[in-house]
Amino acid sequence: MSKIYLSLGTNLGNKKENLTYAVQLLSEKIDILKTSSFYETEPVGYKDQPWFMNIVVEGTTHLSPEDLLVFTQSIEQAMKRVKTIVNGPRIIDVDILLYESVKINTETLIIPHPRMTERAFVMYPLFEISPDLIIDGKSLKNMMESFKGEEIKRLDV
């Protein structure tokens, strides 16, 4: 079993239901160990859209990184994600953040996620569930001390 971290986000429809359903689908092939609180975050890139709701999950899986990518994309397809604008509105987005200490850089998959340390919607929920995590030799705790990112709000839902 390999330890993984995934980021999930949505800004269309019932956001909490979207995230909850995606986690339910993920649990078919991933043992979910921890799920962060829900966070509301301003959009990154394309600004003319509703704010997002995001979570991060920690889990373990027997899937290889490539099979995990196929699985997460199948969940996006099952939930009818439609890509119309880069960084645009979406019913669900499931990103692989970390897969053990594996480093992959192919045309279809990059692990660790290349922009994760720049994004509040990833860093805050990740720090909540795994504050002692080390990424590329740097402690998440140290990264958070100097983190500056988009506006984010932890929700009590």
Nearest residue to 117 (alpha-carbon basis) of 133, 104, 102: 133
78 near 91, Cβ under 8 Å?
Answer: no
Q: Which of 48, 90, 136, 156 is catalytic?
A: 90
Q: Which of 48, 95, 115, 154 is catalytic?
A: 95
Q: Which of 31, 48, 67, 93 is catalytic?
A: 93
CA–CA dist 16, 62 (Å, integer): 27
Place of tokens 């829900």: 38
Is 115 annotated in the active site?
no
Is 81 annotated in the active site?
yes
Which tokens is 71 given?
A: 């699985």
Q: Which of 67, 81, 132, 154 is catalytic?
A: 81
Residues annotated as catalytic are: 81, 90, 93, 95
